[in-house]
């Protein structure tokens, strides 16, 4: 009996020890997918001898078929190194690499964004995409995939096409060279820098002693009422956008003094033939700033509303709404710029941009926060340190409201689309 009691005691201690073991924290890939997810998605047959799922007979479109159709469909996930929308253009290392490959074979690129790696595999097997342009772990994935093309670490991870699609795989293998990764990273870095905007004017003050900021002061003064902002704040925004250069143009297509995108110009009724004309450009930007402020009618304080509008002008209205949703979820004030500023920065972290309340994915939040910070600092310089609320009383910003439905940015990755 004593021995039996001793054994029961040992067994109880063993159970307590097992329960006390802590589950290790799950590691995420750069695009927010849990490491090892593909293993679970692909190894559904298990290790216990269960029947494996039958291999798909769909081999996907061959290289010749893709070229005949004139397009390559890229399957990817949202993230800073994979794919994200940046000023209505695709960005991310894997996207830019795939874009180069599409150019190489003479076709356009279409993007299908998936929620995770398992969905990418399913879509590939159904023929809803041609290539998974995300480095997948070779050792964790098996089944109907043929690894090929881009491999950032030589052996462990690689892009994939349908097993049996040898013509596309061979072409990808022949095209990819390791030096391409460094080359594309350098190109992306340049595109994301201010150097990518061609500017010719750099003076922050035309005549400080006379209080002349630029040769366009009369335009800022004329349209500040439309914009519902102090004219010197408009000047500070213009300097941040183009350094007062009416001929400035970014690689993304933003044009003129206020760097208006062609799609925004069309929405505002500004013809492309006039987009570099100073008055037409400033007038359109003023209407747009008023519209953005109207979209934030729920932000009661005019000062806060203006900061939200400036952030939207740079980073996109829906990204700012995502940040507000995160603040609300975490019990913080969604109408306070200091709070939202922090969540905009967090939208570059997988734990936040993959949150269910976030509808528009990854955002380069540092750029938008820096944009607002620099405009505020320069506005203080232009206004001689006078506060926002002092300028507000004389600018008419606090009166009235501008209503209208927000224009949803083109989420290229929401459905299949052409680049």
Q: How many residues are recorded in the chain? A: 419
Q: Which residues, 6 or more positions from 117, have their beta carbon under 8 angstroms from its beta carbon? A: 33, 37, 38, 41, 77, 134, 136
- Say how far apart CA 60 and CA 264 lie, in whole Å: 38
Q: Tell me 92's DSSP state.
A: S
Active-site residue, from 112, 125, 188, 241:
241
- Say how far apart CA 76 and CA 116 lie, in whole Å: 8
* Tokens standing for residue 330: 């975490």
Q: Which of 340, 310, 300, 299 is nearest to 227 (CA)?
A: 310
Name the residue with tokens 């874009």.
99
Burial 128-141 (b: 16+ CB within 10 A, else e): bbbbbbbbbbbebb
Task: For the beta carbon of residue 294, count every other beta carbon within 10 angstroms.
Answer: 18
* Tokens standing for residue 259: 């760097």
Q: 84-86 and 89-91 as β-strands: parallel, antiparallel, unpaired?
A: antiparallel
* Tokens standing for residue 154: 């030589």
Give the distance, in angstroms, between the CA of residue 254 and the centroid of all CA atoms in the same chain.
17
- Say how far apart CA 88 and CA 244 lie, in whole Å: 24
- Enumerate the β-bridge partners of residue 34: 28
Name the residue with tokens 């769909």.
58
* Residue 241 falls in the annotated catalytic set: yes
- Say how far apart CA 269 and CA 277 lie, in whole Å: 14
Contact 272, 262 (CB under 8 A): yes
Contacts 24+ apart (CB under 8 A), 154-157: 154/178
3-state helix, strand, coil in the chain (%, to 5): 50, 10, 40
Name the residue with tokens 């269960």.
50
Q: Tell me 255's DSSP state.
A: B
DSSP helix/strand/coil, 49? coil
Residues with a catalytic annotation lie at 241
């Amino acid at each position: 009996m004593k021995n039996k009691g001793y054994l029961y005691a040992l067994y109880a201690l063993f159970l307590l020890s097992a329960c006390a073991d802590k589950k290790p924290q799950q590691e995420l890939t750069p695009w927010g997918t849990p490491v090892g997810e593909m293993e679970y998605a692909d190894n559904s047959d298990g290790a216990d001898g269960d029947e494996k799922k039958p291999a798909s007979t769909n081999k996907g479109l061959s290289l010749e078929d893709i070229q005949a159709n004139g397009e390559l469909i890229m399957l990817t996930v949202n993230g800073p190194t994979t794919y994200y929308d940046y000023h209505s253009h695709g960005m991310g290392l894997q996207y830019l690499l795939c874009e180069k490959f599409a150019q190489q074979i003479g076709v356009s690129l279409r993007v299908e964004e998936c929620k995770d790696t398992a969905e990418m595999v399913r879509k590939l097997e159904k023929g809803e995409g041609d290539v998974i342009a995300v480095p997948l772990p070779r050792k964790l994935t098996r089944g109907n995939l043929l690894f090929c093309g881009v491999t950032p670490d030589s052996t462990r991870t690689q892009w994939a096409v349908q097993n049996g699609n040898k013509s596309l795989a061979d072409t990808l293998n022949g095209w990819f060279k390791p030096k391409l990764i460094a080359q594309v990273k350098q190109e992306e870095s340049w595109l994301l820098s201010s150097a990518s905007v061609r500017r010719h004017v750099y003076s922050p003050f035309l005549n400080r002693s006379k209080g002349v900021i630029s040769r366009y002061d009369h335009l800022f003064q004329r349209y500040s009422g439309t914009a519902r902002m102090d004219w010197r704040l408009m000047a500070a925004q213009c300097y941040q956008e183009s350094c007062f250069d009416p001929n400035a143009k970014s690689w993304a297509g933003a044009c003129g003094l206020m760097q208006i995108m062609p799609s925004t110009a069309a929405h505002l009724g500004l013809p492309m033939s006039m987009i570099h004309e100073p008055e037409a450009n400033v007038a359109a930007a003023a209407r747009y700033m008023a519209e953005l402020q109207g979209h934030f009618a729920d932000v009661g304080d005019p000062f806060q509303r203006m900061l939200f509008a400036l952030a939207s002008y740079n980073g996109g209205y829906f990204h700012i709404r995502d940040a507000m949703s995160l603040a609300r979820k975490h019990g913080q004030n969604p109408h306070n710029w200091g709070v939202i500023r922090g969540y905009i920065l967090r939208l570059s972290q997988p734990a936040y941009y993959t949150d269910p309340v976030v509808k528009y994915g990854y955002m380069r939040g540092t750029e938008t926060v820096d944009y607002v910070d620099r405009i505020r600092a320069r506005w203080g310089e232009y206004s001689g340190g006078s506060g926002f609320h002092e300028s507000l009383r004389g600018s008419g910003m606090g009166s009235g409201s501008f209503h209208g439905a927000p224009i949803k940015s083109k989420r290229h990755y929401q459905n299949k689309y052409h680049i």
